[in-house]
Amino acid sequence: MGFVRNILIFAVLLCLSGALSQENTDGWEIKDEMLETLDYEDYLSTIARRLKFESKVKQLESKESITYEYRIHSTTWYNISIKKWIFLMCAIVCIEEPFIERQKQILALFEHSEQLNLHSEYYQLGKSYSIVDNIDNYSNQDAVKEFLILLKTGFLPKYHKFSVFYERMRNEAVAMFYIMYYAKDFETFYKTASWMKIKMNEEQFLYAYYIAVVQRGDTTGIVLPAPYEIYPQFFFNKEVLLRMYRTKMQGGVFNAEAAANYGIVKEKNSYVYYANYSNGLTYPNQEQKLSYFTEDIGLNSYYFYFHTHMPFWWKIEKLSILKNRTGEFFFYYYQQLLARYYLERLTNGLGEIPEFSWYSKFETGYYPQLTGNFLPFAQRSNDYEIHNENTYDYIRFLDTYEKTFSQFLQKAEFKSPQNELNFIGNYWHMNSNFKDEKINKDLHQYSYEIIARHVLGASPKPVAKYDFMPSALDFYQTSMRDPAFYQLYQRIINYLIEYKEYLEPYDYSDLRFEGVKINDVKITELITYFDYFDFNATNGVYFSQDELNYYPTAYIIRQPRLNQKPFTVKIEVTSTVQVDAAFKIFIGPKYDPTGYPTNIEESWMKFYELDWFLYKLDVGENKIERNSSEFLFFKDDSIPINEIYQWLEKGKVPYDMSVQPDNMPRRLMLPKGIPGGYSFQLFVFIYPYNNQTGDNPFQNYILDNKPFGYPFDRPVREVYYGQPNMFYEEVQIYHKGPYFSYEMNVPSYFQSPPMQ
């Protein structure tokens, strides 16, 4: 979903074109300190005034000498360093809002997710607020009336587990979202959210509230806490949480030496808990080799962000950015996710993603060490019998759904006024908008994805409307920890690829770029390593009312995470024409799991897109240099919520979390290497840039007329993928330092100073 957010980022630059004329050449500068933070008090009024009256943006030099070229007018290009144009975007978003105060109010409702602060502003507002008395303050009163009807019948009680994959709980959460979304102003929205914080189920409220903040126009640019800080129990095993609870119950750790043996140290005013990833107890198979990746908190947050920006239950017309391409984006998102996962499997010697049958044993077991409201998560043994007395009806539905797709595909009866791939993607996605008179309506009373998750999650059927045993597949925050997730979506993607096999592959003329040739591509050394990452897990601990207003210590979880050193891609291009060009950089397998060179006709769907950018080629030699810090689809780590408050006190917010929270973690850009180097190949592709005509200026500006993932959006013919505007470069990815993440969690805390 970082792709969608980047559409908005680029679109702001388009909006600048209306504010910048071509007459005055006087420029203005952005101070160095603004590269790291956004200072509203000192700079917003000046920026706003100058954006309105300045005529031209001069070339701005970045400290790192890294620049982007973006077209604002049809014939004019501006060089703007990445951090500076992000600053401009944030400035525009926040100019007319009391942003800092709103930011604090938004964050307050996320803190202490399962407790109420009786002395807080939100509690005082919420306890006296009446939705009925303020119904005129909502733009969609039907949504409010629907919510009130549901409220009379009863909502999910407090202290119960919530999952969006159960219909009744989902309908209630959607009703909660709608009345927050349709609040006419921020004041009404905040009062409504405060009322819900007090009255409604904790997890259900936070789910609806998070999406409402993401989707509302008057909360654009608001910094949200990382999902792993809101509910730490979704991201770490219960043994870490138990150590936190013990420390809190004991009033601290009094024996530093003994505590160190349990991976607990005190640093200043914080307790630090060293956390490992799951091992063979959780993964009774070779999948444990990948736990550092599948359990990465940034990766699992990335999947949660995807849902908050494109919730499957929302009407397509509300998703104005991609409303005609949601099904297409569904394929692209999961295909890219699976390609990245596959590359990680290669370096760990695991090979292809396993396939399965609904009528055979599911080979890959999973014993999650997670807990929800102190309930254990459902476990699945190796060679689990999928087809059993509890799943007969489910599997009959899943089998019929798959066969219906194949039959319609073979008869060429998938017709739609929309793009066919978009239509077919919506068939497989949990999409409430999918309608077709030829499709059996019984098939769409349920969702294929939801039913499949319930079957593979191995939890028993619920015994009551609100009581269920959670599985990892029941939550977006935990789904990617379960190997079954990847096998399920590989199955779905294979059906979509079956459709793509009917598409005509691109031929020579489709892919050629007349007059443009890539002469050489050079990449600096690619190195991965593990380093420690701290995050604030204080939200997972319970406090007294006095402590809620001021707690003397923070609870920090420290875990080694995969990272990679910055690298540079240098591209040398010869052009016989001056032309606007689009560049794409992919990484893909060089060899298959058996060690033989790959055939691109068989591995096209396993190429992972690293970067997409625009560049104006001049006649003659062009030397383009891209640093990995510029790559479009990635973001740096989020900062802890306590640090966000510190920045707010100074009138600042971290730009990275404000404008691109939903990108893929930059640290996971490359698959983990091996000490001697693992071979992959980079594929660089240049093609003419032609923007498409969309439903709004955002689409017109950033979305070109090519499918997502182009030119690897369909089966390929190898003979056409060796043209002058394409280049393959074999690369080696090395891993430095401890090869296994758990090696970092043994010796380091034994040398910590005694706790005071």
Instruction: Identify the domain boundary among 193, 222, 251.
Output: 222
What's the CA gap between 111 and 118, in Å, rounded?
13
pLDDT-based confidence at residue 21 (cuts at 50, 70, 90) = very low
What's the CA gap between 169 and 171, in Å, rounded?
6
Q: How far apart are the first and last CA of the chain?
A: 45
16 in the same domain as 113: no
pLDDT tens by residue, 644-657: 888 888 777 765 56
* CA angle (217, 222, 224) in 5-degree steps: 125
List, as one string, the DSSP characters of 421-436.
HHHHHHHHTT-TT---
105 in the same domain as 90: no
The pLDDT of residue 316 is above 70: no
Beta bridge partners of 516: 575
pLDDT-based confidence at residue 722 (cuts at 50, 70, 90) = very high
Tokens found for residue 573: 């291009």
Q: Which of 97-106, 434-443, 581-590, 622-631 has the lowest mean pLDDT?
A: 434-443
- Give the residue carrying structure tokens 């019998």: 385
When pLDDT is averaged across residues 556-569 and rounded to a whole number, the result is 96
Q: Report the CATH number that the domain containing residue 453 is assigned in CATH.
A: 1.10.1280.10
Asked whether residue 10 is domain-assigned, the answer is: yes
What's the CA gap between 211 and 205, in Å, rounded?
10
pLDDT greater at residue 34 or residue 582: 582
207 in the same domain as 72: no
The pLDDT value recorded for residue 86 is 42
Q: How do 270-274 and 554-564 pair as beta strands?
A: parallel
42 in the same domain as 151: no
Instruction: List CB contacts of 410: < 8 A, sequence separation 6 or more.
Output: none
Asked whether residue 601 is domain-assigned, the answer is: yes
Instruction: Identify the domain boundary among 204, 222, 240.
Output: 222
339 in the same domain as 485: yes
391 in the same domain as 313: yes
Asked whether residue 266 is domain-assigned, the answer is: no
CB 40 within 8 A of CB 99: yes
pLDDT-based confidence at residue 601 (cuts at 50, 70, 90) = very high
The pLDDT value recorded for residue 490 is 98
CB 12 within 8 A of CB 57: no
The pLDDT of residue 720 is above 90: yes
pLDDT-based confidence at residue 318 (cuts at 50, 70, 90) = low
Asked whether residue 145 is domain-assigned, the answer is: yes
Asked whether residue 558 is domain-assigned, the answer is: yes
When pLDDT is averaged across residues 457-478 and rounded to a whole number, the result is 93
The pLDDT value recorded for residue 697 is 43
When pLDDT is averaged across residues 190-219 and rounded to a whole number, the result is 96
Asked whether residue 193 is domain-assigned, the answer is: yes
Report the amino acid identity of residue 33.
E
What's the CA gap between 170 and 298, in Å, rounded?
25
438 in the same domain as 367: yes
The pair phi, psi for residue 138, each rounded to 5°, is -120, 135
CB 56 within 8 A of CB 25: yes
CB 728 within 8 A of CB 681: yes
pLDDT tens by residue, 519-544: 999 999 999 999 999 999 999 999 98
**Cis peptide leading into 711, omega within 30 of 0?**
yes
537 in the same domain as 585: yes
Domain that includes residue 445, residue range: 286-500
Domain count, the chain: 4
The pLDDT value recorded for residue 48 is 34
Q: Which of 12-26, 249-263, 578-592 has the lowest mean pLDDT?
A: 12-26
Cα-based distances in Å from 234 to 168, 380, 383, 461, 691: 22, 18, 26, 22, 41
pLDDT-based confidence at residue 261 (cuts at 50, 70, 90) = confident
pLDDT-based confidence at residue 753 (cuts at 50, 70, 90) = very low
Q: Which of 130-139, 203-212, 650-659, 726-735 has the lowest mean pLDDT?
A: 650-659
pLDDT greater at residue 436 or residue 691: 691
Asked whether residue 178 is domain-assigned, the answer is: yes
SS3 310: coil
The pLDDT of residue 81 is above 50: no
723 in the same domain as 583: yes
The pLDDT of residue 755 is above 70: no
Q: How do 568-575 and 361-362 pair as beta strands?
A: unpaired
pLDDT-based confidence at residue 694 (cuts at 50, 70, 90) = low
The pair phi, psi for residue 617, each rounded to 5°, is -80, 135
SS3 459: coil
When pLDDT is averaged across residues 238-244 and rounded to a whole number, the result is 92
Helices 202-215, 186-199: inter-axial angle, 10-degree rounding: 160
pLDDT-based confidence at residue 581 (cuts at 50, 70, 90) = very high
When pLDDT is averaged across residues 682-698 and rounded to a whole number, the result is 76
- Give the residue carrying structure tokens 């489910």: 394
Query: In 3D, which of 83, 22, 6 has the Cα closest to residue 57?
Result: 22
pLDDT tens by residue, 607-620: 999 999 999 999 99
120 in the same domain as 66: no
91 in the same domain as 34: yes
The pLDDT value recorded for residue 155 is 96
Asked whether residue 473 is domain-assigned, the answer is: yes
The pLDDT of residue 415 is above 80: no
Q: Report the CATH number that the domain containing residue 609 is assigned in CATH.
A: 2.60.40.1520
When pLDDT is averaged across residues 388-395 and rounded to a whole number, the result is 92
Beta bridge partners of 522: 570
Beta bridge partners of 285: none
Instruction: Identify the domain boundary among 470, 500, 530.
Output: 500
516 in the same domain as 444: no
